[in-house]
Amino acid sequence: MDDMGKKMSPLFVLVYLFLVLNGEGIMANVEAKSNVHIIYLGERQYDEPKLITDLHHDMLAKVVGSNEIASDLMVYSYKHGFSGFAAKLTKSQAQKLAELPGVVRVIPNRLHKLQTTRSWDFLGLSSHSPNNILHSSNMGDGAIIGVFDTGLWPESRVFRDEGLGPVPPRWRGVCKSGEQFNASTHCNRKIIGARWYINGFLAEYGKPLNTSGDQEFLSPRDANGHGTHTASTAGGSFVGNVSYKGLGSGTVRGGAPRARLAIYKVCWDILGGQCSSADILKAFDDAIHDGVDVLSLSIGSSIPLFSDVDERDGIATGSFHAVARGITVVCGAANEGPSAYTVHNTAPWILTVAASTMDRAFPTSITLGNNKTLLGQAIFTGKEIGFTDLVYLESTKFDPNAAGMCEDLSLNNISVSGKVVLCFTSTARQTALVQASAVVKEAGGVGVIIAKKPNDALYSCDGDFPCIEVDYEIGTRILFYIRSTRSPLVKLSPSKTIVGKPVSPKVAYFSSRGPNSIAPAILKPDITAPGANILAATSPLGQFMDGGYAMLSGTSMSTPHISGIVALLKVLHPHWSPAAIKSALITTAWQTGPSGLPIFAEGFPQNLANPFDFGGGIVNANGAADPGLVYDMGTTDYIHYLCAMAYNNSAISRLTGQSTVCPSTKVSILDVNLPSITIPSLRNSSTIIRTVTNVGALKTIYRAVIEPPIGIVVSVKPDVLVFNPTIKKISFKVTVSTTHKVNTGYYFGSLTWTNGVHAVRSPLSVRTELLQSYADDN
């Protein structure tokens, strides 16, 4: 499946907005039009799940008239992480429920969208090196990774359980049988849990499964391939001698190859992959009960985002309750880059992951008839295309280049049989490549060269048809050659694999960027991991499958890299909070590639990457295992954030499940104890507070090292932190002042605490706004 650029089709928008659920077997006094609503009751009132479920049924029966009707209308009962239920309701029934005592809020269901042989070596986690976190954590043995996605293909070799011990005794989850999925044979000591959730989705979709032409299974079995790919990336077992059509050959495995996997199928292979909030919330509820250590969600929504306290964002709500119980929740930043303000999953309790390329490339030689060889990139492993005619479609209309646009190729009056076609596109997405290759192939062409904006995420064209990507500079050189000769020729050679120098990692073009559109003072994304051309297991039904494996790109692929690393950290540091783990990852991340050169971000044009591109940087798992200091947080800190956002007390109480009253004096969002400092609107000066916790040697001294942003003065008091066995936490103040006399964009720097062994680096992002577009208290 193409992970990037998937948009909800206009037809599906209509289905989502206007289809109604005609309840089968429901008595005549139930109105015909009903939709799934989530009735949120806040924190659990009882510890006994059956009592909670009975309460939910009684509450629903009171509104719909009988227990029998209530049973038919009930979709889910949420009883572990929080109390609530999902039910099929008419508008009037939803209103009546909202008026009952104890009901915090009634909200409509909504839909979410889905957003490796080399990558682990690139991250310093080679299985052949004894001196890394992979080995010190016993490859994640004992950790449990929960994956919310499209399920799994259980026969894949990456899910074998050879060498694994018994299932951890704390595990309380289940494996559920279903269509072509037998819990007793398909679950094992690797796949220790498998559930599926579809009631919320089907109620909105309004049709039976498998009526759209897409094949699906009413079970944890994965028809799409996306879930198998993400699960195997996070915690798959070792499988040797794997490649994608001969490229990227090596051993595939997950980040924590001895961790256990719990699969929660919340997304369905319908219209590109859709997931319902009601289903996601139920999966969170179960996962909290089951005993997972980390949750991996390669799922997003759409811009504009819902607020942190709006339960229509099932991910923000569910993850709050999971994090409150010590479960790290890892989510993708989304694939809407390189534009600013496009990052999703922005709540500060979520660990939000951007995507990078790595030090691997697939150069593909293009030899012109004048014997000059240019390099493009492709996943082309077919036979060499010997010298053949090369054409570019010229237009006789007002725009001479219109006919040569990849999206609008028209070959009605031109013969391209046996020829290679050059075209240009203004987009970096896959759409133009697919359209152009399909048109040229159908017309008898033997290959296409696509000149486009730089983007290292590659796609294999159907049937090994050569579709080679080049940037505009190379494309223009090929075009000039075509226009300079009467009979232009070209030879296309199969792609090769190169790793290491001279290939340098970059923030991927598609990776969504900050600033955070909900709260600019909360840095998002948090961290970056490889997410371009990631080779992992997939479903045999997957669109780009080759021998059970696929090379996919997206923040969907970078997210499970971080989830696997979190599992390793959880084994090493079982008592670390989700915030401590996030801090360790951010403050130890790399800002340079293996060559020592700064990391760039793909875009228009490529620029040096900044915190809005990659958060703290590219993940450094070995460094995160021993960060020295961490910026820790708990529920009280997140409530501080919610109060600083000026959400009202009732909205905060709904989210947290406990009565909350914010201070009468406004608290500063800048004082949320993040491992980063982001000031979106600095007038003159601002002083913020941070607290660090020593997780290293008991007796140590740290000194502040400041790299101030341009035109910004930064001071720290105290600038020396002295820790001993009785002093483990120290607070300090950071004063940030501007010398700019005009409004500016963001400038970037850092604050690093170092003791000669550790360098605890916090990214610093500051924008001067003397004339502000909105009010704040900075």
- Strand-pairing partners, residue 296, are 147, 330
- SS3 of 35, please? strand
Torsion sign (Cα): 703, 709, 713, 717: negative
Label residue 562 exposed, middle or buried (CB < 10 Å: 0-12, 13-18, 19+).
Answer: buried
Distance, in Å, from the CA atom of 652 to the CA atom of 731, rounded to the nearest integer, reads 27
Tokens at 161, concatenated: 């359980």
Residue among 491, 489, 431 at smallest CA distance from 466? 491
Half-sphere exposure of 8 (CA within 13 A, CB side): 19
Tokens at 145, concatenated: 């990774």
Task: Please state, as a whole number, how many other Cβ atoms lie within 10 Å of the Cβ of residue 720.
Answer: 13
Distance, in Å, from the CA atom of 222 to the CA atom of 154, rounded to the nearest integer, reads 9
Which of these is catalytic: 3, 149, 285, 293?
A: 149
- Strand-pairing partners, residue 713, are 737
Q: Report angle CA 326, 197, 284 to the nearest 5 degrees.
A: 10
Note if 556 is an active site residue: yes
Tokens at 584, concatenated: 């360790």
Note if 184 is an active site residue: no
Distance, in Å, from the CA atom of 265 to the CA atom of 58, rounded to the nearest integer, reads 29
Residue 117 DSSP class: T
Distance, in Å, from the CA atom of 469 to the CA atom of 123, rounded to the nearest integer, reads 27
Note if 301 is an active site residue: no
Residue among 624, 631, 620, 619 at smallest CA distance from 559? 619
- Strand-pairing partners, residue 766, are 679, 747
Which of these is catalytic: 56, 186, 226, 344?
A: 226
Distance, in Å, from the CA atom of 10 to the CA atom of 4, rounded to the nearest integer, reads 18
| DSSP per-residue string spanning 422-477 | EEE-S--SHHHHHHHHHHHHHTT--EEEEE-S------PPGGG--EEEE-HHHHHH
Which of these is catalytic: 301, 460, 495, 556?
A: 556
Per-residue exposure over 575-605, b if at least 16 CB sit within 10 Å of its own CB, e if not: ebbbbbbbbbbbbbbbbebeeeeebbbbbee
Residues identified as active-site: 149, 226, 556
